Amino acid sequence: MPTYSGTYAFQPNAQAICTEALNITGAFDQNETIPINDMNSVLFSLELLVKEMALNGMLLWAIQDIAFPTVVGQATYNLSTITGTTLPLRILDQYIVDSTGNSVTLVMTSRYDWDTLGQKFQPGVPNQIWYDPQLNAGTITLYDVPSDNTHTIHVITQLQMQDVGALTNQVAFPQEAYRMLVWNLTDEIALKYRMPADERIEVNQKATAFREKFFNAEFGQEQASIFLTPSERMGNR
């Protein structure tokens, strides 16, 4: 009979990922103690890499439904203050829920469309939303301005990737990402540690393949049906 661990707890910390990347470069012997300055340098490279990966799309573990009540006469809401932890990178969906639980989709408005809207401060039930992502705060502005406090705004947001922070911390990625992280980190530091050009090319090819495989994997995207309907504005042709 085969013997299995029965566990699913494999979660190497940042130091293990950095050490593996350094071992692949060949900069240090596997039995050699890696200087802390090198470990911190590679940790910084890992931090840069993780932050950039937020550009790869809607990663399910970085998506959060943020809800907040409307306030009479208040049009603008600071999402960074509401979450208390992070600045949403983008809003993926948005809707408003009334006191009976009925929900209606809010129209996402661009900055230009918001600027050209008339009567921006008229009271009513919000039907449009504009998100302004800035460096230190992401703000939502509603149109119309809430005339009551009985509605709740829901925004489905993509959050920033968590800081790695320290070598002893885990990286906020699922287990399936660890090989991709190791090889992409190796690719990131290959020139710094003077890997031969032919080896850098091979590392880059593996890093690219693992990255594409991970971010194109179905488990990284929500499983749902897609329905296409003709636009009424097109008319019958």
| CA dihedral (121, 127, 130, 131) positive or negative | positive
Rounded CA separation 46/43 (Å): 5
Q: Record the tokens describing residue 138, joined without a space.
A: 């992401």
pLDDT of residue 79: 87
Among candidate residues 151, 31, 155, the one with its CA nearest the CA of residue 98: 151
Burial (Cβ within 10 Å: 0-12, 13-18, ≥19) of residue 161: buried
Q: For the chain, what percent of residues have pLDDT higher than 70?
A: 91
Is the pLDDT score of 86 beyond 60?
yes
* Confidence tier at 222 by pLDDT (50, 70, 90): low
Q: Tens digits of per-residue pLDDT, 158-169?
A: 888 889 999 999
Asked if 235 and 229 touch (Cβ cutoff 8 Å), the reply is no
How crowded is the C-beta side of 61, counted as CA atoms within 13 Å?
A: 13
* Confidence tier at 233 by pLDDT (50, 70, 90): very low
Q: Tens digits of per-residue pLDDT, 71-85?
A: 999 999 998 888 877
Q: Tens digits of per-residue pLDDT, 94-128?
A: 999 999 999 999 999 998 898 888 888 899 999 99
pLDDT of residue 230: 60
More confidently predicted of 218 and 137: 137
CB proximity list for 70: less than 8 A, separation 6 or greater: 96, 126, 142, 146, 148, 149, 150, 151, 152, 153
